[in-house]
């Protein structure tokens, strides 16, 4: 079996880091790359026997690439502090690393919004490459929504990980406001008027957000607002 490093980038994640690390204890190494936490994130991680290193913030993609570079093993799993590797996914990862058939593996995310698991609004399976050979892949350098680019074969794992996306509407609005500032498009008043309407219609009706009732409506509305911010800022 190939050895595995789980890498996590952090800053002030004391609320989430315990369960993230506990879900990764099957790995040969857990590396936490912190960018200046002023809470107890680092102390908690060290107490849970994670390897904690420090790096000033480089941007999402570059920070994760740095964490991958510092890992001891060639196979890495990139985990965010608000994500959890389920027991079923743990077993699948272990079995996969006994004889990898690909250079990178996509993993689905099961997102939790305001206390409810959401499979509508186009939010599931929400695949992204998380398990990969670091010599065959790295994150692209974009301001936000960074993704791994693999030089080689990519496959999919069957079991999802858990993503504790947002606890509250206020948290959702704050983060989406930040992301829209990082990813804002060239100002376009026409798109600022039309695109949010299409986003809401797509998520709530085409992607069946209405099946999740109030949660689906709020998610569709807030993503529509995020689309507006992207084109108006």
Identify the CATH number of the domain in which residue 15 sits: 3.90.550.10
One domain for residues 180 and 91: no
Closest CA to 112 of 74, 85, 83: 83
**pLDDT value of position 178:** 81
- 125 cis-preceded (ω within 30 degrees of 0): yes
Q: Which pTM does this prediction carry?
A: 0.91
pLDDT of residue 189: 85
233 residues of the chain, pLDDT tens digit each: 899 999 999 999 999 999 999 999 999 999 999 999 999 999 999 999 999 999 999 999 999 999 999 999 999 999 999 999 999 999 999 999 999 999 999 999 999 999 999 999 999 999 999 999 999 999 998 877 899 999 999 999 999 999 999 999 999 899 888 877 776 567 888 899 999 999 999 999 999 999 999 999 999 999 999 999 988 88
- One domain for residues 185 and 161: no
Regarding whether 187 and 151 lie in a shared domain, the answer is no
Instruction: Tell me, yes or no, whether 47 and 79 share the same domain.
Output: yes
165, 188, 223 — which closes off a domain?
165
Q: Are residues 193 and 93 in the same domain?
A: no
Q: What's the pLDDT score for residue 184?
A: 59
Among 165, 181, 205, the domain-final residue is: 165
What's the domain range around 49?
A: 4-165
For 42-68, letters b (16+ CB in 10 Å) and e give bebbeebebbbeeeeeebbbbbbbbbb
Residue 185 is predicted with a pLDDT of 66
Residue 75 CA to its chain's centroid (Å):
18
- At 187 the pLDDT is 83
Residues 157 and 55 in one domain: yes
Q: Do 186 and 152 reside in the same domain of the chain?
A: no
Instruction: Please give the tally of structural domains in the chain.
Output: 2
Instruction: List, in sequence order, every residue forming a beta bridge with 139; answer none if it has no partner.
Output: 148
Give the strand order in the sheet containing 116-118.
83-84, 161-166, 109-113, 116-118
Which of 165, 182, 201 represents a domain boundary (last residue)? 165
Nearest alpha carbon to residue 148 among 228, 77, 48, 83? 77
224 shares a domain with 151: no
Q: Are residues 158 and 73 in the same domain?
A: yes
């Amino acid at each position: 079996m190939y050895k595995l490093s789980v890498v996590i980038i952090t800053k002030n994640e004391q609320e989430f880091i315990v369960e993230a690390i506990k879900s990764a204890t099957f790995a040969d190494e857990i590396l936490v790359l912190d960018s200046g936490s002023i809470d107890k994130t680092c102390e908690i991680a060290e107490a849970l026997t994670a390897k904690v290193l420090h790096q000033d913030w480089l941007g999402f993609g570059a920070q994760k690439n740095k964490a991958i570079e510092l890992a001891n093993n060639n196979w890495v799993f990139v985990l965010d502090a608000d994500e959890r590797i389920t027991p079923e996914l743990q077993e699948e990862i272990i079995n996969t690393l006994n004889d990898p058939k690909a250079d990178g593996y996509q993993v689905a995310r099961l997102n939790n919004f305001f206390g409810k698991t959401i499979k509508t609004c186009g939010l599931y399976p929400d695949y992204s490459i998380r398990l990969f050979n670091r010599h065959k892949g790295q994150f692209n350098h974009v301001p936000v929504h960074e993704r791994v680019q693999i030089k080689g074969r990519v496959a999919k794992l069957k079991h999802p990980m858990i993503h504790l996306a947002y606890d509250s509407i206020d948290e959702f609005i704050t983060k989406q406001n930040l992301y829209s500032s990082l990813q804002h498009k060239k100002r376009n008043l026409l798109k600022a008027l039309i695109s949010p309407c299409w986003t809401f219609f797509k998520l709530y009706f085409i992607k069946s957000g209405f099946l999740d009732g109030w949660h689906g409506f709020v998610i569709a509305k807030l993503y529509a607002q995020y689309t507006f911010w992207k084109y108006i800022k």
